[in-house]
Structures are given as structure tokens and as C-alpha cells.
Amino acid sequence: MAGLKGSDIISINDFSSSEIEHVFDVADTMSKGTKTINSLLKGKLMAAMFFEPSTRTRFSFEASMHRLGGDVLDFANTESTSVAKGENLADTIRIIDSYSDVIVIRHKYEGAARLAAKFASHPVINAGDGSGQHPTQTLLDLYTIRKAKGNIKGLRVGLVGDLKYGRTVHSLAYALSKIGAKIYLVSPEMLQMPDHILSDINKASIAGKTERLEDVIGELDVIYMTRVQKERFGDLNEYAKVSRAYTITRDTMANAQKDAILMHPLPRINEISADVDSMKNAKYFEQAANGIPIRMALLAMVLGAM
């Protein structure tokens, strides 16, 4: 990916470490919010096509587009579109592509964003495809880690919870491995990281694998919690067996390093108790807020304004 102008953003694997750093540099510039930045995308239209629920990703993309002076076509409710009449994804994309300059898509099927990119002439950004990837989340996750810790290489990062269905941890594992962090996989047996991802990433980057968070929490610089993805389970009895696998409390944090940071892509259900929110380790709200400079940077870059 040499420069992002005109590019689709489908997988975190499309980014080299230096390209990720460049996105961070542009995000730093975006945080300044100057007059020039606020009109960078004047006259441009972003289509937000969310076939699955979202709060953070959808609203931060929409806010980012508005903050850059652009406009948004909202596709948040498929019931009010011809998708409800049975129109297929390819035709829907062809039409929306002809009305907009960039498409942001979230879909329940893995591979849907890549398929959309095949039928769109404008850039397509994957805002989460089933249990596949969530590359823009990973960029804001890495940005949050770098801001808190100063660097990412060599850090010990625990990925905790639903490593099977969680698209955020799939993208993050690829990126951490590429950058040279040490990954600790913490999940119930039923929710382990898929083999195809483990075989793709650098073996040396996996520092540990366990079902018990207490075995490794004291070693971690970053504790990355995830929600068990109820919507991906065919059998809710199976979900019930693991839905409360891990809950971080103030007592749990007493065993963590003093300066360990606690992250979560959110929404959380019961993975982090509310009394942890006021601890200085808690970075998940700052993490969600970082969606704005990162997504402003990505929109400006794919539309050739930066």
C-alpha cells in the first residue's frame, strides 16, 4: 500500500509498520482541528452502510466526516432500503458507489467488505466483517497503546476473552505480531484464536497461551479484554457456558503491573466492572475517543486530501 489515496481498507495486513506509523502522524495532525482540516473534505460524501449494530464505529466515522467538512449518506437501517426487498449486496454497492465518494461498510458476513470493494469504484473501508477483521479498530487500538506506552514493539499484550469470533483481536494479533509485540492468548478452550490466524502470524510473537488470566496478568503491559460475541453462537447454551469467563475487578487489577493499561473495544457486558473505570489503568474510553483522529486520518488519506 504505497500511499492510501484511492485505496480500500479491508485488512490490517495491507499495512506495513511504517504505514501504520504514518497514519498515526496524520492522526496527530487531525487532533489539532485547524480551519484547514475542518474543510479538507468539503463537497465529499461518505456512505455509512451498517448492516450490523454499531455505536462507536458508525458515529466516529460520521463525526470524522463532518469534522473534515464532508457529508454523510446514512444507511444504518436496512429495513428502510431495498435490501429489505431482497436486493443483493453487489447491486446495493453499485448504486451507493454511484452516489458517494467513499463507502464504510459493516456486515455480518466475513468477506463482505472485500466483495463490496470488488463492485465499488470508490474506496471501501471495512468497519467489521463478521468474525473476520476490524482494521480501523486495530489502528485506533495501536494508537492508544503507543500514546500510553510510547512504543509497541516488545510490549507484552494479553488478548483476553473471545479470540474465536472477536474480529478486533484477529486484526490486532496480526498487527502486534508484525510490529514485534509479545502476545499472550487468554481464552476458554471453546473460544481459542483460529488456527489459520496462528499459522499466519510469526510464531515467535506468541509468548503464552492459557485459560487462566491470573496466570499471566502480572506479566502484561497491556490487558485487552473482549466481549463474548453472543451473536455468532448458533447454540445459546454454548454461549451461556463462556459468557462470564472473565471479569476484571479492582481485585483483579491488584495483581496487574502498576502501569499496565486496560483496554476493551467496547461494548462491554460484564468483562470489566464499573468500579475499575476510575483507575488510571483504564484506557477504554480514551481508546474509543481515539476513533476520531484515526478515522479522520483514514478518510482524508483515502480521499487524497492528505
- Contacts made by residues 280-287, CB under 8 angstroms, sequence distance 24+: 281/253, 281/256, 283/144, 283/148, 286/144, 287/140, 287/141, 287/144, 287/263
Coil, strand or helix at 237: helix
Position 77 contacts ligand CP (CB under 6 A): no
CB closer to ligand CP, 40 vs 222: 222
Measured distance CA(226)–CA(170) in Å, rounded: 11
Cβ contact 256:220 at 8 Å: yes
Binding mask 4-43 for ligand CP (x = CB under 6 A): ----------------------------------------
Question: Residue from 22, 56, 114, 268 that binds ligand CP (CB under 6 A)?
Answer: 56
Q: What's the min distance (Å) between Cβ of 128 and ligand CP?
A: 6
Position 159 contacts ligand CP (CB under 6 A): no
Radius of gyration of the chain (CA): 19
Position 265 contacts ligand CP (CB under 6 A): yes
Q: Using the 8-state DSSP alphabet, how is residue 248 labeled?
A: B
Position 230 contacts ligand CP (CB under 6 A): no
Q: What's the min distance (Å) between Cβ of 124 and ligand CP?
A: 17
- The candidate with the shortest Cα–Cα distance to 67, out of 293, 303, 305, is 293
Question: Residue from 11, 54, 100, 187 that binds ligand CP (CB under 6 A)?
Answer: 54
Question: Residue from 64, 137, 252, 290 that binds ligand CP (CB under 6 A)?
Answer: 137
Residues near ligand CP (CB under 6 A): 54-57, 128, 137, 265-267
